[in-house]
Amino acid sequence: MRVDKWLWAARFFKTRSIASAQVDGGHVEVNGERAKAAKQLRVGDELRIRMNQYTHVVHVRGLSERRGPARDAQLLYEETAESKAERARLAEQRRLAPTPAYEEGGRPTKRDRRDMARVKRRY
């Protein structure tokens, strides 16, 4: 089964085209190697999926040609304990981080907003 199709069926991405774009962008690794969208998955393969700041490390437990309910999609993979712990740690770290505030007072200018967006995209 294709990687992009499996990611869509397992509900990691909302559409197959988004899944394919993420795979082509290098955000998905299969067994430690960068994958292409047409890479064939097998049961037991390990996937590393980077979504925003979080990284999911999952083992393929099943294959599905169609996208079903979330309850069925969760049976297609098993996330490692280290991956869950790391995501929980990052979520807690983001929760405790101070909210960004504009120091100048008032509304930021267009230039200031572009600078903030540029910094935000890096992370």
For residues 88 and 65, what is the distance between their CA atoms, to the nearest angstrom? 31
Q: CATH no. for residue 49?
A: 3.10.290.10
* Total number of domains constituting the chain: 1
Which pTM does this prediction carry?
A: 0.76
For residue 62, give its domain range.
Answer: 3-79
The identity of residue 107, as a single letter, is R
Q: What is the mean pLDDT of residues 32-56?
A: 92
pLDDT tens digits, one per residue of 82-120:
999 999 999 999 889 887 776 777 788 899 899 999 988
The pLDDT, as a whole number, for residue 86 is: 94
pLDDT at 8 over 90: yes
Instruction: State phi, psi for 14 to the nearest 5 degrees.
Output: -70, -35
Q: Does 45 fall in a domain?
A: yes
